Amino acid sequence: MTKKLKILVVAGDGIGPEVTGEAVRVLQSVAELGGYDFQFREELIGGVAIKAKGSPLPEDTLKAALESDAVLLGAVGSNEFNALPPSERPEAGLLKIRSELGGFANLRPSFAWPGLSQNSPLRPEIVEGADILFVRELLGGLYFGAPREWDKRVNAAWNTMRYTRDEVVRVSKVAFELAAKRRKKVTSVDKANVLEVSQLWRATVTEVAKDYPDVALEHQYVDAMAMHLMNQPRNYDVVLTENLFGDILSDEAGVITGSLGMLPSATIGGKVNLYEPVHGSAPDIAGKGIANPLGAILTAAMLLRYSAGLEDEAAAIEAAVKQVVADGVRTADLARADKSVEVSSTTEVGSKVREVLVGARASAAAR
């Protein structure tokens, strides 16, 4: 039976449409090569949605998202709306779609691309070979816990870091399942020497680990982990952590890849999975055709892996990206460290990825 997939594309603002355009074209190539039926529908989110419909997440967009098999998002944010209160800005649309879709596990790979180590501020011998998958809990912890308040009468403010055992169990299972298919190691990050919530986290993760005897579990305190990630990133496979720690550590580990434009992400476990590159709308380069589309293209690979079970196709996209990078094809953000490199545009990089995909398929068929 033909594999059908309904994909909602919400390209958003700034470079969002430029990079998601390339990701969609790569998905269309995969569909043609494999005989799949991928149906794309486009809706508005962010600043463009405010302008057209008066809301950063119009009802139509949310309805279409809930009816789809996967949502591919570009980026939101535009300086034009900076004067509005946070609840009315483009970013409010992103927060709302994330919470409405309900994904609790945010997956962020951090990979040292061969040939790009000179773009990282870390020494090549430290980053080369690093391949980490962060599994960050996304719906609990300090960002959502109550009570939360800034009480100006007493000049004090507070937030609450809260987790239930069930919330830790479900995200831990995701981490162990993924590690079982990778290098079979989970590093759980907490602050169990100080926080009760981390003690519950550590006890629960340890309990879940018993169901995965082939996967090694280690615990690290978050402060030590921040240092280890920069000293020895190759030591880590799957890093499991709560919302705030994951936010900070996965950004820190972004330096391994050498450019924000190379980082994909997926949020899974909810009603519909949400896929988005890590970068924002980059107003400074929007409309110039120079944005790096590889983060969005790698995000499309994650979509095939986690929403369609098309592991071979996902791996083929990742291999094509690796090839394109190894061949020296670079948008400006990647060429910065090497002045001798010819700079390619967003669409040129996207076309190269598709060429490599099609070529790899043709040579596999000829064998």
Residues involved in catalysis: 143, 191, 223, 247, 251
Site for ligand NAD (CB under 6 A): which residue of 190, 242, 276, 318? 276
281 binds ligand NAD (CB under 6 A): yes
For residue 165, count other CB atoms closer than 10 A to its CB: 12
Where do runs of H (alpha helix) occur along 107-156? 124-127
Q: In what order do the strands lie in the sheet with 185-190?
A: 37-42, 4-12, 70-75, 273-275, 266-268, 105-111, 131-137, 238-241, 185-190, 216-221
Nearest to 26 by CA among 277, 260, 316: 316
- Pick the closer one to ligand NAD by CB: 33 or 75: 75
- C-alpha to C-alpha distance for 245 and 229, rounded to whole angstroms: 13
250 counts as binding ligand NAD under rule CB under 6 A: no
How many amino acids of this chain bind ligand NAD (CB under 6 A)?
22
Per rule CB under 6 A, is residue 19 in the interface with ligand NAD?
yes
Specify the stretch interacting with ligand NAD by CB under 6 A; choose among 55-63, 201-209, 275-283, 355-363. Answer: 275-283
Instruction: Establish if 22 lies at the interface with ligand NAD (CB under 6 A).
Output: no
Q: Which of residues 315-344 bind ligand NAD (CB under 6 A)?
A: 331, 333
Site string for ligand NAD, 93-112 (x = CB under 6 A): -x------------------
Tokens 């300086």 found at = 79
Token pair, residue 135, equals 């599994």
Stretch in the footprint of ligand NAD (CB under 6 A) among 95-103, 196-204, 216-224, 277-285: 277-285
Structural contact between residues 267 and 134, judged by C-beta atoms closer than 8 angstroms: no
Q: Is 91 in the site for ligand NAD (CB under 6 A)?
A: yes
189 near ligand NAD (CB under 6 A): no
| Binds ligand NAD (CB under 6 A): choice among 17, 56, 58, 77 | 77
Return d(Cα 105, Cα 128) in angstroms, integer. 27
Which amino acid is present at 304? L
39 to 68: interface string for ligand NAD, x by CB under 6 A: ------------------------------
Q: According to CB under 6 A, which one of 215, 249, 291, 300 is a site residue for ligand NAD?
A: 291
- For the chain, the first-to-last Cα distance in angstroms comes to 25
**Exposure string over 202-218, b if 16+ CB within 10 A, otherwise e:** bebbeebbeebeebebe
The residues of the shown chain that bind ligand NAD, judged by CB under 6 A, are 15, 19, 75-77, 91, 94, 260-261, 276, 279-285, 291-292, 295, 331, 333
